[in-house]
Structure 1
């Protein structure tokens, strides 16, 4: 199937290359920044870099909408697609209905709306094996759904049919598991840096923590530390150390209480 990529960020970058690796040629790559569109196009076989959203003459049958959630309406308001094209967004939080409403408002010809959401954190210039990435699929009709499932199964070992509500819940959970966890690691490094200690000293315990959590049926079953033991002496000692940094102090208190009160 011929595909065009709307958006040249990390998700569009990885998907564009993956599609072509599985014999789905990319016809066009759109970005407001022509340099970004050209950079991705150069990685592909014969893709055209575009800064306009007129795809009316495109040979693509599937258009992957991989833009920031806040930019989706603006892009859709200018988007011109061939009749009966498939338009699939890659957002974890935007619903299928959100996309359908936008296309009804701004597009004259019928478009088959869908969701093609890879549940993964993507980074620029970092190779990623998509076989291990879950893909969440939702579509306006069974035929479109099956097309997207078939493409996803070519790239990944894990493909799910999920409703917009289920995908929203997963996205919230992913923010806790991924984004918040990484932020806590960054805060941990700031603590060691402030005392001229090596953050590398913490990497073995971080690694072991993740290994145990991923093996456990419930990560709560392998929770350790002063909060779960209700070791008030150590907790108070930590709070005393953090008293001059109200932000870290508050985070420590909130997480300690959360651990102790988890059902």
Structure 2
């Protein structure tokens, strides 16, 4: 990515997975990260050590934050309100969160604060490299000037940057949970079942890759396959019996089967059919 036209002095509040990926990426993009704060001092020190020139904050109570051009809150969604309530930001500071589900209005509780959102639509895990130019970054701010500033920061990281208002971003987050988190859980179930059968998970790799690619090429509902869509009652019953040792997974199987069949019935009802006598 090109260097940002306006370099920012940034303080990170949080040292979890999002911050551990975002902080170094911002530094590589030419921004100056001066400090890292965390409720766990060791985590702040570890992340600051990975960012040239950054220092861990010396205060845990957030009342003596150093000045910065931008404060980025990278803590779990449920902790954002607590950070905002505890922190003493400089007057008219620009503070953003990185959460998909939290509204922009979470900043309304702090008088005089300029709030915004910088939401990276990606999953972050230790030991994984992120291709930042391909990561969609969703930006939102209360004013046009702050929105423009956040767009500049986002564009210094990614080639896929969108202004996304709270309602759409929250819908995007729900969709991402289905597409990423739930899908990964289902893959985990498949992995565990193959382990029980002493079979390698790699056997599923071509199937998984084709399924994902097909869903990216066409609307996923239109390319649904499997015993549920075929109403193969014998196979469905056999699978459910095999899952009896795992009643939770068996229930997931039943619910997903019902969902697939309901969706297919709805799609069929919407098709134009010739009149019947």
Alignment of 1:134-173 (within 5 A): 134-173=136-175
Alignment deviations for residues 236-259 of structure 1 (CA, whole Å, 9 cap, x no partner): 211222233221211111101111
Q: Which runs of 5+ in 1 are unaligned?
A: 105-109
Whole-Å separation in 2 of the counterparts to 1:177 and 1:256 = 17
- Once the two structures are TM-superposed, the CA of residue 59 in structure 1 deviates from its matched residue by 3.6
Q: Which residue of 2 aligns with 1:232?
A: 233
Q: Which runs of 5+ in 2 are unaligned?
A: 1-7, 267-277
The alignment's TM-score, normalised by the length of structure 2, stands at 0.88
- Once the two structures are TM-superposed, the CA of residue 55 in structure 1 deviates from its matched residue by 4.4
Alignment of 1:101-180 (within 5 A): 101=109, 103-104=110-111, 110-180=112-182
The alignment's TM-score, normalised by the length of structure 1, stands at 0.93
Q: Which residue of 2 aligns with 1:107?
A: none
- Once the two structures are TM-superposed, the CA of residue 54 in structure 1 deviates from its matched residue by 3.1
RMSD: 1.3
1:253 aligns with 2:254: yes
1:206 aligns with 2:215: no
Whole-Å separation in 1 of the counterparts to 2:108 and 2:118 = 14
Whether the 8 Å contact between 1:213 and 1:219 is mirrored in structure 2 is yes
- Once the two structures are TM-superposed, the CA of residue 70 in structure 1 deviates from its matched residue by 1.4
Whole-Å separation in 2 of the counterparts to 1:100 and 1:90 = 16
Q: Which residue of 1 aligns with 2:63?
A: 54
Q: Which residue of 2 aligns with 1:3?
A: 10
Whether the 8 Å contact between 1:120 and 1:134 is mirrored in structure 2 is yes
Whether the 8 Å contact between 2:74 and 2:98 is mirrored in structure 1 is yes
**Equivalent residue pairs, number:** 255
Whether the 8 Å contact between 1:55 and 1:82 is mirrored in structure 2 is no
Q: Secondary structure at the match of 2:156?
A: helix
Whether the 8 Å contact between 2:81 and 2:106 is mirrored in structure 1 is no
Whole-Å separation in 2 of the counterparts to 1:148 and 1:39 = 27
Alignment deviations for residues 148-185 of structure 1 (CA, whole Å, 9 cap, x no partner): 01110121111111111111111011000000000000
Whole-Å separation in 2 of the counterparts to 1:206 and 1:124 = 23
